[in-house]
A and B are shown apart, each in its own frame.
Chain A
């Protein structure tokens, strides 16, 4: 029973981080209809920003979080204005190709700039944990999960209640009507993409605390985010939290009861089942 409890908690904590990773991808996908294949590369770049702030300026990774977000926001904003904005009216296939190309470019630039050495964010508290009712809770994972949920809720509130959020949703629902009401789509799109990249930056910072950073982590992370977005649905930030949590728990329990090598089989199997049974995601609107 203690084992089951520990594994379940591990899964939930992992799910929190997954949710934050996927949030930016789901946001951009839902609003701009762009499946950003470079999302994992943004996470990787965010992790490197935090790594260099930590090693060169001794800035704590948690304090570096807003900086990583800001840097990635600027990058995302620039990418949308300078590159993706040019083909936003084109077929989806074009955006897939471009973001795939961006992923390759970012990965190889990262290798040239940062080398293939793997890095970790290893502040004094990185391995700390607390024991609650026989279950060991790693401090960093709690922190990562907490920040992930906080950011997700913030994004949800922003989309629902702020002027910018309403403009973003309006632009995604009916562009013509939104323009008639004075929404400037180019800047709304760039802000949204920047926000997505900024969230990836935050996720990268936290990922570096619990795992390791190298220029090649992007592709697998993109795939994971993709699965989470599909499972949770693209309609709300809460769906992404649910998707991340479900994936984290399913992975942990699969490893325990079926075997570690079946982890991807089950998580991608879940993706297929969700696509067949409920294509708009578990928490998505079915219309």
Chain B
């Protein structure tokens, strides 16, 4: 007779203790909708890191070990819903530590929630300079600043032979890509290159035939595109079908992800991109061993290769764990101050924030060579010889 009430009581106790013990991390992520393709990398990165830290005994705060608990809501790729969900996480669920969403426009909007309620938001999904130029105290970002995305690529271009002289710059009209373009424009001028085309296009554009016709007619040596994966995919496919060639084509997104390379097949070859993270054994890490082991664990669990999105997401959780231990408390202000003082090596690289809350990491230039992503140019120059110039489509 007593069994059922006792079970309920036991459940309650279990829940109550779990509530007292676990440290809750909350996030609103694009699990459905147009951004879900990359959004899930963040969920996967967060889950992998939380499970790993818990398996290693959790986080020690004030001499007591706590487990991390993750609460993820699906914002359906809707910025407004994303903001409402963060408000809900803070006000109703009483979660004081926030993990960010993917993409600058989401972080730009939701970081205001963190600032208003004075709870720290650590994120690896938003790189637009706008996020960090508002004097906010509670937002920290692990992606290198957007305006420097093409910096290393332009640097590499000046050292190629024959060096490209004219550039076409295309970018989508959102917060992140406009920031990338603003920085790239300066890089191009500083390197003594000429911008033959400098054009903004609508977010989610699917037809690039007119822009490609202009590129074909202006014949720039290099094409730099700051946009989204679906746009880059269409851009490359349509370049091929319209036979538009450049010595070098570089993209902010796309080439880094295995899914993208698979769906384009050989047409993705020769494309350049950049990444702050590479699965190297030299990037040591307390929880995962090193970046190479992290990548192997990630692939084993989720069935696809990690890229910098997933690595940054995992590093976000790792940074929270470190900050909690340093702060010795779960008080949001104390944790915020501990985050600001963080300085540690991880699979993602050295985690250390500037006064504005941003990280400084070099972008390694990568190129797709026979379907594989190869790091070609780092902060110390060429790592391997890039396949340059890109042969014309007819010769491929």
Interface presence of B161 (CB below 8 A): no
Let me know if B391 is at the binding interface, CB within 8 A. no
Specify the chain B residue showing the minimal Cβ separation from A252: B210
Complex interface: chain B residues within 8 A of A214 (CB): 34, 37, 230
**Residues of the B chain whose Cβ atoms lie less than 8 Å from the Cβ of A7:** 209-210, 213
Question: Which residues of chain B come closer than 8 Å to A127, judged between CB atoms?
Answer: 237, 240-241, 267, 393
What residues of A have a CB within 8 angstroms of the CB of B202 in the complex? Answer: 260-261, 263-264
CB pair B205 A263 closer than 8 Å: yes
B265 interface residue per 8 A CB criterion: yes
B32 with A3: CB separation less than 8 A: no
Q: CA of A253 to CA of B210 in the docked complex: distance in angstroms?
A: 8
Whether A120 touches B237, Cβ cut-off 8 Å, given contacts A10-B213, A216-B33, A263-B205, is yes
Count residues of B near A (Cβ-Cβ below 8 Å): 40
Given A118-B229, A120-B237, A120-B264, are A259 and B199 neighbors across the interface (CB < 8 Å)? yes
Chain A residues closer than 8 Å to B207, beta-carbon distance: 14, 211, 251
Residue of B nearest to A120 (CB): B263
Given contacts A10-B210, A14-B209, A263-B202, contact A120 B233 (CB under 8 A): yes
| Known A108-B32, A256-B214, A260-B201; contact A128-B233, beta-carbon cutoff 8 A | no
Query: Of A128, A210, A216, A260, which one neighbours B210 at CB under 8 angstroms?
Result: A260
- B33 cross-chain contacts in A, Cβ below 8 A: 216
Kindly identify which residue among B77, B241, B259 contacts A210, using a CB–CB cutoff of 8 Å: B241
Contacts of B204 in A (CB 8 A): 220
In the bound complex, how far is the Cα of B232 from the Cα of A211, in angstroms?
11
**Dominant secondary structure of chain A at its interface with chain B:** helix
Residue contact B37 to A211, C-beta cutoff 8 Å? no
Is there an interface contact between A118 and B211, defined as CB atoms closer than 8 Å?
no
**A253 vs chain B, min Cβ distance (A):** 8
- Residues of chain A with a CB closer than 8 A to B214's CB: 3, 256
Say which residue of B173, B211, B216, B233 sits within 8 Å of A255 (CB atoms): B211
Rounded to whole angstroms, the CA-CA distance of A116 and B393 in the bound complex is: 29
Interface of B: prevailing SS: helix
The residue in B199, B207, B233, B240 that gathers the most chain A C-beta atoms within 10 A of its C-beta is: B207
Of the stretches A87-95, A136-144, A154-162, A190-198, the one at the interface is: A136-144
Q: Give the residues from 22 to 79 in chain B that come closer than 8 angstroms, CB to CB, to chain A.
A: 32-34, 36-37, 40, 77
Residues in A253-274 with C-beta less than 8 Å from chain B: 253, 255-256, 259-261, 263-264
- Chain A CB within 10 Å, residue with most, of B199, B211, B240, B242: B242
Contact call B230/A10, Cβ cutoff below 8 A: no
Task: Please encode chain B, from 189 to 208, with 1 for each CB lying within 8 Å of some chain A CB and 0 for all others.
Answer: 00000000001111011110
Contact of A153 with B by CB under 8 A? no
Flag if A210 contacts B37 (CB, 8 Å): no
Tell me which residues across on chain B come within 8 A of A172, comparing CB atoms.
none
Given known A111-B36, A118-B229, A139-B241, contact A261–B263 (CB-CB < 8 A):
no
Contact A210 B32 (CB under 8 A): no
Which of A21-78 touch B at CB < 8 Å? none
Q: Quick one: which of A118, A220, A260 contacts B263, CB cutoff 8 A?
A: A118
Say whether B217 contacts A3, CB under 8 Å.
yes
Question: Is there a chain B Cβ closer than 8 Å to A126's Cβ?
Answer: yes
Known pairs A122-B265, A256-B210 / 11 extra A-B pairs, C-beta < 8 Å: A3-B217, A6-B216, A7-B209, A14-B207, A116-B32, A117-B37, A120-B264, A122-B267, A127-B267, A138-B238, A259-B200
A residues with CB within 8 A of B:
2-3, 6-7, 10-11, 13-14, 108, 111, 116-120, 122, 126-129, 131, 136, 138-141, 210-212, 214, 216, 220, 251-253, 255-256, 259-261, 263-264
6 A-B pairs (CB sep. < 8 Å): A6-B217, A118-B260, A126-B241, A136-B243, A260-B210, A261-B200
Those 7 A-B pairs whose CB atoms lie nearest each other, nearest first: A127-B240, A138-B241, A260-B201, A10-B209, A255-B210, A116-B36, A6-B213
